[in-house]
Amino acid sequence: MLASVQISGRSFSATLPLAVACLAVGVMPGHAAEYLSGIAWPEPPIVTPGATDRDPPSDAVVLFGGEDAAAWKGGDQWTVDNGELVVGRGMIETQQAFGDCQLHIEWSAPTPAKGTGQQRGNSGVFFGPYEIQVLDCFENTTYFDGQAAAIYKQQPPLVNAMRRPGEWNSYDIIWRSPRFAADGSLTSPAAVTVLHNGVLVQNHFELLGDTPYNRAPRYEPHPEKLPIRLQDHGNPVRFRNVWVREIGSIVGRRVHEPALRNGKTVTPLTAKAEK
Domain with CATH 2.60.120.560 in the chain: 61-246
State the CB neighbour count (10 A cutoff) for residue 185: 9
- Spatial CA neighbour of 133 closest among 117, 154, 147: 147
- pLDDT bin (cut points 50, 70, 90) of residue 270 is confident
Distance between CA atoms of 53 and 75, rounded to whole angstroms? Answer: 26
Is it the case that residue 48 has pLDDT exceeding 90?
yes
Is it the case that residue 28 has pLDDT exceeding 80?
no
| Helix or strand (DSSP H, E) at 268 | strand 265-268
State the CB neighbour count (10 A cutoff) for residue 250: 9
Q: What is the mean pLDDT of residues 209-231?
A: 98
Contact indicator for 94, 71 with CB cutoff of 8 Å: yes
pLDDT averaged over every residue in the chain? 90
State the CB neighbour count (10 A cutoff) for residue 116: 11
pTM value is 0.85
- Spatial CA neighbour of 165 closest among 116, 117, 121, 231: 121
CATH code for the part of the protein at 61-246: 2.60.120.560
Is it the case that residue 269 has pLDDT exceeding 70?
yes
Q: What is the pLDDT of residues 84-116, one digit of tens each?
A: 999 999 999 999 999 999 999 999 999 999 999
- pLDDT bin (cut points 50, 70, 90) of residue 154 is very high
